[in-house]
Amino acid sequence: MLMNPGVVVLVIIFEGVRKVTLHATEAQAWRQLMEFVDRRWERRFGRAPSPIEPEARADQFFRNNSDDLYAIIDADLSELQEALS
């Protein structure tokens, strides 16, 4: 039986590639998103400094291309747990 029925889903669509990861906390999802953005920042913006605030940094990064996006979603797995029991 699951102790915590919640999970945080991070969805990143970048240059036509979809990446979906599951995290125990929203903080972990944001950390992974910031690592993703930071690794690609210079390629997209050159040496322009990135915003310090994570949400502003993510918004600026993904605003560059309307096909790229991210979502951090709290999901409740309790119904799935009940269905599998």
Pick from 35, 37, 40: nearest CA to 23: 35
Do the domain assignments include residue 56? yes
> What's the number of domains the chain is made of?
1
Do the domain assignments include residue 25? yes
The pLDDT tens digits of the residues spanning 71-83 come to: 999 888 776 666 6
* CA 71 from centroid of its chain's CA atoms: 5
3-state secondary structure of 25: coil
Domain harbouring 57, CATH code: 3.30.2260
Q: Is the pLDDT assigned to residue 2 strictly greater than 50?
A: no
State both tokens at 10.
């991070």
The pLDDT tens digits of the residues spanning 32-71 come to: 999 999 999 999 999 999 999 999 999 999 997 889 999 9
Q: What is the pTM of this model?
A: 0.82
Do the domain assignments include residue 41? yes
Do the domain assignments include residue 1? no
Query: 38 is in which domain, residue-wise?
Result: 6-84
3-state secondary structure of 79: helix
Do the domain assignments include residue 29? yes
